[in-house]
Structure 1
Amino acid sequence: MSTPRILSIQSHVVCGYVGNKSSVFPLHLHGFQVDAINSVQLSNHTGYRKGIKGQILKAQDITDLYTGLKENNLNFYDYVTTGYVGDPSFLETLARTVTDLREKNPNIKYVCDPVMGDEGHFYVPEALLSVYQKSIVPIADVLLPNQFEAEKLSGMSITCEADGWKVCDKLHSQGKAETVVITSGEIGDNPDEIVSLGSFNRGETKVKVCIPRIPSSFTGSGDVFAASFLIWSHKHPDNPVKIMTNTVNTTYAVLNRTYESFKHLDTPGSYDKELKLIQSKADLEDPPEFVQAILVKESS
């Protein structure tokens, strides 16, 4: 079997683990060849008290980088995956880039984590929302929003599991996405659990995972989730339960290891809470089973 090639367009931080720093390592461990374009280049993630320094790439930057790949006939990929983008013009150009990649390989799969915000607020310019709705959602094969992002993209609220499935159906209907996963949300009745909902085959197969809540917040967890989802969906394309089980367990293992490393501290800082990604190498390769996905609806 040939080595799958991925173009990963996400953020980069010098110190820490978000964006491409969270995604490339797990993909490499599983034998994927990853070419990375950094949508931003920052000193650290935005959770640090004294802020960030660095650059936000614009439309011309991604155009130049992709043109170089194309002119050297290096633009044949099996997957393109996108995460944090800090500029609307960059995102518009990214959409055109994906379309051009499809001309080179009509079978390319576009896995999109529409990173916009969480816990009720945006942490990117709100102008990105309309670009996602008009230019990105229609062309993505896989959408991986969290609850906040799913609500914004669909224009619907999620107060229960039934609402979550309706939002998934809405996002399917807005484009070509075969798979929509609400990666995390307060969707169930149990305050001690986070719920992940996976809608496969345009909603014909639905899978749910209930995840024990870790009493902390993390930066970069969605990027680990997206990379893990790509890995396990590539390895088990016809087994949504396996995909969701392994994806959630991989992500949970990293977060749990990170939490165990700082829970003894009275006031852990941003650096203390950086994901213990390298230390989780074995779990990334073969995740322990903390949870098991449940088949809610099976395709007919």
Structure 2
Amino acid sequence: MTAIEISHLPPKANKILSIQSHVVHGYVGNKAATFPLQTLNWDVDVLNSVNFSNHTGYGAVEGECFSGKDIQDVFSGLRSINMNYDAMLTGYIHGANTLDIVGRECMEIKRRNEQALWLLDPVMGDEGQLYVNKNVIPIYRKILRSGLVDIITPNQFELEVLLGHKIHDLQSLRQAVKHLHDVFDIKYVVISSLSLSGEQLGLKGNRSNKLYCCVSACHLQKLVFFEIDKYDSYFTGVGDLFSALLLDRVFRSHDILQSTNEVLTIMSKVYM
């Protein structure tokens, strides 16, 4: 057997706690995020918020949602073995009590390690429709008021729900993003998809059949938009994969614009 030189060994993996949904069939939530993160040299601890047969896009689903007590028991076990994390990824969480437990536990992890990167994807709905109970909305606001969330990746509808008002043009978008920075002290804001037209955003040129991703950071003086080709189809797990890849890129580069650009390029080549 040939000895392997230490210099040829891969770098030590960083630890991440991923709290999202699980489905037996399909790729959403932790099923969409875990393997890509592992290939990027993350040691992924998976905490499933639900255990479903399939994603809800099928119109029928069977399985169970884990209660706040179920999640609390898992965190108690992790504390008993002194687990610490370099990053946290929180996605779909069903129910206010469960979300409240997740929020409090993630805040505690962040307080123990201020360098841990926390990406919160407030998965609540899309295209004007909620697919969680309304009682999670004030819990998300409470978590954001902690000032401990580093990155938030809502779509336009989720941002409107969080802030309680519609975004209908560039000015209202700027006000919404400013609120996230100033009131919630969020360093990076990435609105994963905007339904506003290029004209409404003040963008020049013929941009029909496009969606937009909007990026803002505390140190930036402007909003930055990325064009996304719009397809007349239904995709699942796209946002979950996007958030996982974005967390990885930002953790390594600390450059939100470069990270978003790279992730959108990757996403354009992935079929979910």
TM-score band w.r.t. shorter chain: 0.7 to 0.9
Q: Deviations over 1:19-72 (max 9, x none)?
A: 0001111111111111010000100000113x1111101111111101111101
Q: Using the aligned pairs only, state the percent identity.
A: 34
TM-score (norm 2): 0.88
Equivalent residue number for residue 151 of structure 1: 160
Amino acid of the residue matched to residue 246 of structure 1? E
Cα RMSD for the two superposed structures: 1.6
Task: Find out whether 1:19 has 2:29 as its counterpart.
Answer: yes
Mapped to 1, the partners of 2:106 and 2:195 lie a distance apart of: 32
Task: Find out whether 1:180 has 2:197 as its counterpart.
Answer: no
For residues 1-300 of structure 1, the aligned pairs below 5 Å read 2-49=12-59, 51-74=60-83, 76-136=84-144, 138=146, 139-189=148-198, 190-201=207-218, 203-204=220-221, 206-237=223-254, 239-254=255-270, 258=271, 275=272
Structure 1 residues 98 and 34: CA distance shift in structure 2, 3 A: same
Q: Are the aligned partners of 2:28 and 2:55 in contact in 1 as well (CA < 8 Å)?
A: yes
Structure 1 residues 161 and 134: CA distance shift in structure 2, 3 A: same
> Alignment partner of 2:223: what SS?
strand
Please list every run of 5 or more consecutive structure 1 residues that lacks an aligned counterpart in the other structure. Answer: 259-274, 276-300
Amino acid of the residue matched to residue 11 of structure 1? S
Structure 1 residues 39 and 236: CA distance shift in structure 2, 3 A: same
- Equivalent pairs, count: 253
> Alignment partner of 1:171: what SS?
helix
Structure 1 residues 137 and 123: CA distance shift in structure 2, 3 A: farther
Shift of 1:205: 5.5
> Alignment partner of 1:60: what SS?
helix
Q: Are the aligned partners of 1:165 and 1:199 in contact in 2 as well (CA < 8 Å)?
A: no
TM-score (norm 1): 0.80
Please list every run of 5 or more consecutive structure 2 residues that lacks an aligned counterpart in the other structure. Answer: 1-10, 199-206
> Alignment partner of 2:101: what SS?
helix
Q: Deviations over 1:84-141 (max 9, x none)?
A: 0111100001111012212331221210000000000101111111111122453311
> Alignment partner of 1:15: what SS?
coil
Mapped to 1, the partners of 2:196 and 2:224 lie a distance apart of: 14
Mapped to 1, the partners of 2:219 and 2:132 lie a distance apart of: 28
Structure 1 residues 65 and 243: CA distance shift in structure 2, 3 A: same
> Alignment partner of 2:234: what SS?
coil
Shift of 1:222: 0.7
